[in-house]
A and B are shown apart, each in its own frame.
Chain A
Amino acid sequence: MLQQIVYAAPFLLTGLLTTLAVSVITVVLSLIIGVVLGVALVYGPAPLRWVVRGFSDIIRGIPILVLLFFVYYGLPLTGLNLQPLAAAVLGLTVFKVAQVVENVRGAIGSIPTGQMDAAKSIGLPFPERLVFVIAPQAMRRFLPPWLNGVTDAVKGSALISLLGVGDLMFAIQKVVGRTYEPLALYCFGAALYFLINYSLSLGSRALERRFSYISV
């Protein structure tokens, strides 16, 4: 049993690196886009708010698997023919953006309106109110749930094996197909995913404790 895992180790390692790479790209892209859309959702003009709200509600309402299939199998018909890896990153990013938007909305919403009013009264323009008054406070509310949500990106990335991306899940399936040792390999794979995600959860909890002294 152990022998099979050792034999498959280099192959699994490649898969693990793909999983990590896809997760990191997804998380970074979704963070940038999500924060912009999240700010638009809170402070944007009404039509823009409706668009972001609609986007977020629709994306969070459909299973991530359906979203991935839609991007990979459906979009080529509109002329956007993506390779499995690109489709996977696009699908996961869209899914994650919707979550980040909600994280941002929650974080900004938890700051008392008096803060914005005070910043207005001392004559700060909007960009500076956002960057110097709202953002530093909202950051503490945003980081713990966001980091916890990163585990969703890593877990969701296991589904991209179904698009043929050679991630950890895909590598495990391949090795199972060759060695006929499903239990050992699935347990080993579960342990790897657990290690990644549990460290993220621990990080999230540590941040939460770190910021808990601020009670607004």
Chain B
Amino acid sequence: MGYHLNFTLIWRHFDKLLSGLILSLELAILSVAIGCVIGLVLAVIYVSGGRALRAAIAAYVEVIRNVPLILLVYLVFYGLPTVVDLSYSATTSFVLTLSAYAGAYLVEVFRSGLEAVPRGLIDAGMSIGLTPWRRLVHVRLPAMLRIALPALSNTFVSLFKDTSVASVIAVPELTYGAQWINFNTFRIMEVYLVVTGMYLVTGYAILIGLRALERRYAIGG
């Protein structure tokens, strides 16, 4: 191989990558938080609502899950402002998109979690005279969260990787930082090696942390 790796220029611009990584994490955390709210509300409606509501939620889930994220990003950033009188920054637009995207995946996570809550727990809640609302808040949701935690952490790590798509609308996250360094220094191989390492280390660190949390809260563990 006649190419000599030279990381000097990468370290000189490392602040671009570091701030990019932080923004990537922020995007993922914000989107998963909003997505959790969407997912929780829709999952509860799904398991207790009527047929029409179920069909509407299923349509939302299927549409989002079967369309490439990059297309959704373009749709929200370039498409929506042409019909609704809204102007938002690329970052806001991406957070909206990724939240809707996360919501569609999390509805499924929470819905299957709610269905996996042992019948006996709900019956026990009934027998001590809890109202349906209190059964939901104090029995079903806490149990569901503990069941759904592993799937939730997988979704979070997956969303963290998906934030790389934000680079196509010039949100200055990690992949965008890598491209910026490419265009300015042409140290392509080096920057992608460093960025790959950053994604891997961060992703696995999050996963290991969340796995510890899962073990702590595992039902019957």
Contacts and interface: CB of A to CB of B under 8 A. Distances in A.
Contacts of A173: 74
B69 A182 contact: no
A61 interface: yes
Interface of B: 1-3, 62-63, 65-72, 74-75, 78-80, 82-83, 161-165, 167-168, 175, 178-179, 182, 188-189, 192, 195-196, 199-200, 203-204
Contacts of B3: 77-79
B200 A176 contact: no
A187 B165 CA distance: 19
B196 A77 contact: no
B203 A190 contact: no
Contact of B1 (A58, A78, A159, A176): A78
Given A62-B200, A63-B164, A73 B66 contact: no
Contacts of A176: 78
Given A169-B68, A183-B82, A74 B164 contact: no
Interface in A58-90: 58, 61-66, 69-70, 73-74, 77-79
B182 A159 contact: no
B74 A186 contact: yes
B78 to A, nearest CB: 4
A156 to B, nearest CB: 8
Contact of A190 (B63, B78, B195, B200): B63
List 3 tightest A-B contacts by C-beta distance, closest first: A158-B68, A197-B66, A63-B164
Contacts of B196: 58, 62, 66, 70
A103 interface: no
Contact of B189 (A78, A154, A162, A183): A78
B67 A193 contact: yes
B175 A61 contact: no
Contacts of A78: 1, 3, 189
A106 interface: no
A176 B179 CA distance: 24
A54 to B, nearest CB: 11
Contacts of B188: 73-74, 77
Contacts of A197: 65-67
B74 A69 contact: no
Given A63-B165, A74-B189, A161-B70, 10 more contacts: A61-B199, A154-B68, A159-B70, A176-B78, A183-B82, A186-B74, A190-B71, A193-B67, A193-B68, A198-B62
B80 to A, nearest CB: 7
B67 to A, nearest CB: 5
Interface string A138-179: 000000000000010011111101100000010011001000
8 contacts: A61-B200, A65-B175, A78-B189, A183-B79, A183-B80, A186-B75, A190-B75, A193-B67
A159 B2 CA distance: 30
Nearest to B83: A183
B182 A73 contact: yes
B206 to A, nearest CB: 11
A63 B69 CA distance: 12
Contacts of B63: 190, 194
B62 A201 contact: yes
B83 A186 contact: no
B200 A182 contact: no
Contact of B82 (A62, A161, A182): A182
Contacts of A182: 74-75, 78-79, 82
